[in-house]
């Protein structure tokens, strides 16, 4: 469910012909004045100044510095801001783990919010176009996949379940693996076994630490092809059950807990920071919604002006 158009001329493409002139006038007005939408659920975010986006909005589409394509705000194929949006004025977010985004080949580049993550956390995010994705089997004790399903677990249960993955990994490589969990073994071990047990303990401790999280960038109706790929089987699945989407292209018939890609990434990191890292959240990842919140307000205002709300 990851769709987003960055071309301001398409913001009102769902309006009927009779309202086209009025919509055009409203949008022109919006492009000249900052958003004043009062009930924006994203307004509490601690964001960097979006003045650079306001200026770019007024000047219209601009060229991508790499491919010279005409874009609005950023190039969704090169993952860079356009010429009217200086890179120095775009915030950079440091993430606590690496993120892989697997994009469906039929997902329209210009309608995807996945690019936001790459733009705002370039050192920690990699985007792959299916079926060209990595092999995860050897690292599945430190990787999880965010996707709802019957076997998915909550963020707060990640460590517990990764411990089980690590135990299976250690036992598979140790012919003398005890029937009892390693944690129940006697604290005092023979000296000759010390190094072996320390190695296992170290492996267990390291294995319970999540190092990479995977997200699927696709409409919900297209996810089956990716989620059933053998390379993703056996991975721990995480579901975000308590968050509701603000996405303007939410698919009909799907629950409002089905999030856009950038929302899923953001909310996962907030929960991970609090539930797994056990640290107080103070807006460290809010800027991941830097572009999303701006587009949300712009489109919401446009719809209000057009009389849809």
Phi-psi map region of 61: left, alpha, beta (phi>0 left; psi -120 to 50 alpha): beta
The C-alpha atoms of residue 296 and residue 219 are separated, in whole angstroms, by 19
Q: Phi and psi dihedrals of 100, rounded to 5?
A: -110, 130
- pLDDT score for 277: 95
Asked if residue 21 is part of any domain, the answer here is no
DSSP letter at 251 equals: P
Domain count, the chain: 2
Q: Are residue 144 and residue 237 in the same domain, yes or no?
A: yes
Indicate if 82 and 231 belong to the same structural domain: no
What is the helix (H) or strand (E) element at residue 213, kind and residue range? strand 212-217
pTM: 0.74
CA 194, CA 199: separation in Å to the nearest integer? Answer: 9
pLDDT, residue 88, reads 94
Distance CA 201, CA 33 (A): 60
Structure tokens at 88: 């120095």
Which pair of tokens denotes residue 213? 């999280």
Question: With contact defined as beta carbons under 8 Å apart, do 261 and 117 qualify?
Answer: yes
248 within some domain: yes
In a domain, 54, yes or no: yes
The angle at the Cα of 262, spanning 260 to 264, to the nearest 5 degrees, equals 65
Are residues 151 and 73 part of one domain?
Answer: no
In this prediction, the residues of the chain whose per-residue pLDDT falls under 50 are: 1-38, 175-207
* Same domain, residue pair 237 and 257: yes
Q: Are residues 216 and 155 in the same domain?
A: yes
User: What's the CA gap between 178 and 52, in Å, rounded?
Assistant: 61
**Structural domain ending residue among the three candidates 69, 90, 111:** 90
Q: Does residue 250 fall inside a structural domain?
A: yes
What gap in Å lies between CA 54 and CA 66, rounded to an integer?
23
Q: Does 176 reside within a domain?
A: no
Whether residue 299 is contained in a domain is answered as yes
The pLDDT value recorded for residue 132 is 96
Q: Which helix (H) or strand (E) holds 46?
A: none
pLDDT of residue 22: 45
Domain extent at residue 271: 92-165+208-308
Q: So what's the pLDDT on residue 102?
A: 97
Q: Give residue 92's pLDDT.
A: 97
């Amino acid at each position: 469910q990851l769709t987003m158009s960055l071309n301001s001329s398409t913001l009102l493409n769902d309006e009927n012909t009779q309202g086209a002139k009025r919509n055009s006038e409203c949008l022109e007005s919006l492009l000249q004045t900052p958003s004043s939408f009062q009930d924006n659920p994203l307004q509490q975010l601690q964001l960097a100044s979006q003045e650079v986006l306001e200026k770019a909005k007024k000047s219209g589409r601009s060229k991508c510095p790499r491919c010279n394509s005409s874009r609005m705000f950023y190039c969704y194929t090169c993952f860079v801001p356009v010429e009217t949006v200086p890179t120095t004025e775009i915030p950079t977010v440091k993430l606590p783990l690496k993120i892989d985004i697997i994009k469906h080949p039929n997902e329209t580049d210009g309608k995807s919010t996945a690019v936001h993550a790459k733009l705002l956390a370039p050192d920690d995010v990699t985007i792959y176009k299916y079926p060209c994705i990595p092999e995860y089997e050897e690292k599945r004790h430190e990787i999880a996949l965010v996707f709802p399903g019957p076997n998915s677990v909550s963020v707060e249960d990640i460590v517990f379940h990764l411990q089980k993955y690590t135990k299976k990994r250690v036992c598979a490589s140790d012919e003398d693996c005890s029937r009892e969990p390693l944690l129940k073994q006697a604290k005092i071990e023979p000296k000759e076994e010390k190094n072996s047990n320390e190695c296992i303990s170290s492996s267990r401790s390291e294995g319970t630490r999540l190092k990479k999280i995977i997200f699927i960038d696709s409409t919900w109706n297209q996810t089956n092809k990716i989620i059933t790929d053998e390379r993703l089987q056996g991975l721990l699945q995480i579901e975000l059950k308590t968050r509701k989407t603000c996405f303007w292209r939410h698919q009909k018939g799907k629950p409002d807990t089905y999030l856009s890609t950038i929302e899923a990434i953001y909310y996962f990191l907030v929960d991970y920071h609090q539930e797994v890292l056990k640290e107080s959240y103070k807006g460290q990842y809010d800027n991941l919604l830097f572009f999303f919140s701006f587009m949300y307000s712009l489109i919401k205002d446009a719809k209000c002006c057009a009389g849809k709300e």
